[in-house]
Every structure is written in C-alpha cells, then in structure tokens.
Amino acid sequence: MLRDEVEKRGFAILSEVFTKHDIEGLDEKLASTPLPRSRAGMRHALRHPAILEVARGGRLLAIAKEVLGCDPLPFKATLFDKSPASNWLVVWHQDTALPLRERHDIAEWGPWSVKDGIIYAHAPARALSRVVALRIHLDDSILENGPLRVLPGTHTKGVLSDDATRALSDQVTAVDCVVPQGGILVMRPLIVHASSKSRSEMSRRVLHIEYATSAKFAEGLELAIT
C-alpha cells in the first residue's frame, strides 16, 4: 500500500496520474493568467486559480488522504522550473519551514522568517509528521536534467543538524527520483533530499504541493494558505 511505502521509505513514485492532455491544459491556464514568478519558478503558487484547482482535485486529495489518514488540506504550492536558462543545485537538506498566519514564540518552533510577506517558522518533527508533499511532474524527470535525489528512510530520524545530514549522505545510498511527465513523487518533508544541476537541454518543471492533516497546530499556530 502507498501509505506503508511512504511510512517506511519516506517517498513513493506514482506514474501516469495525469495525462499529457491534463498537463497541456494546465500549461494553457498558467500562460493565460500568469502570476509574478522568478526564473526558477513561482513561490506561493496557490494564488493561481488553476493550481488551486489542481491541488483541490480528487486525484491529489485521494493520494494525500491515503498517506495522512484523514481529509487533507492543501496549504502551500511551489512551481519549480529548472532549465538551461535557470539551472541550480540543491545540497542535502530537509524541508522544515511551514507558512503560518501569525507568529507565536513557542518552544521548538523557529527560527522565524518572512518570505514575500508570509511568516515562516521551522517546525518540530511532530508537526512535520502531519505533512506530505505531492510533486507533479509537468515534464519528464530523467537522470540528466537534475532530478530530486533522496536518502530513503531518513524521514524517521527527526529534525537533523547540518552535520548529521551530511553524515547520512555518506552512509545511505541515494535514490534518483526519475518520474515521467504526469507522474507524482510523494514525499515526507523530513526525508533528506537534494538535486544536481541539469546536464540536459530538457526543462524539468515540477509543481510541489504540500498537504496537512489540518490548518491548526499546537498553541494557537495556524497554517497560512500559500
């Protein structure tokens, strides 16, 4: 089962969730009503009605529900666009920052920051266990165009220091997450992951959508919808 695989390995790959026609339709909507974006993509992408529609669609909600075990809330989306014109690498890390409506200085939450007007805090492992990310591949992800690489099972080790993260990268065999267009990479935020620069002329666009069990967390903290 999907939930068992994600709980054990921290990730799973689902092929052919969306058709080529689905992706072309989304591309048309993104082009017809563009939002501000950088060369690398679009942050806080749930502001775009087409992306919000996809995030709330039955296919993604069913996947997120199977992993989280309850009705999921899409709360954050990011469009990544890696190409020859915008190419980068990402070192081994975990995704620990959550967007929040208000700041409350609470033990284990922080450091705090503000990105494009949205408040963020690095969250403890117990909060991040309530989150799953679904990465929709708008293009084929191949070995040559800088796919995401993960260290299986590392999501169970809590929030790690930089030194601990680097040590795990030497101890655990990395997996390249090669995903066809229309496929989805399901991942827990605490799995250690990275990506290399692309060595291809092919673009690698990924729509990364995060879901939570609810908007409300401990001590009055509430997710911002971004």
198-219 confidence digits (pLDDT tens): 888 788 899 999 999 999 997 7
User: What's the pTM?
Assistant: 0.96
Radius of gyration of the chain (CA): 17
**Is residue 39's pLDDT more than 80?**
no
Per-residue pLDDT averaged across 76-99, rounded? 90
Per-residue pLDDT averaged across 36-44, rounded? 79
Residue 84: the pLDDT is 73
Tokens of 89: 């690498």
219 Cβ neighbours under 8 A, 6+ residues apart: 104, 106
pLDDT tens profile 112-161: 999 999 999 999 999 999 999 999 999 999 999 989 999 999 999 999 99
pLDDT tens profile 158-180: 999 999 999 999 999 999 999 99
How big is the chain, counted in residues?
226
- Cβ atoms of 78 and 135 within 8 Å: the answer is no
Task: Report the percentage of the chain scoring pLDDT > 70.
Answer: 99
Domains of the chain: 2-95+130-213 (2.60.120.620)
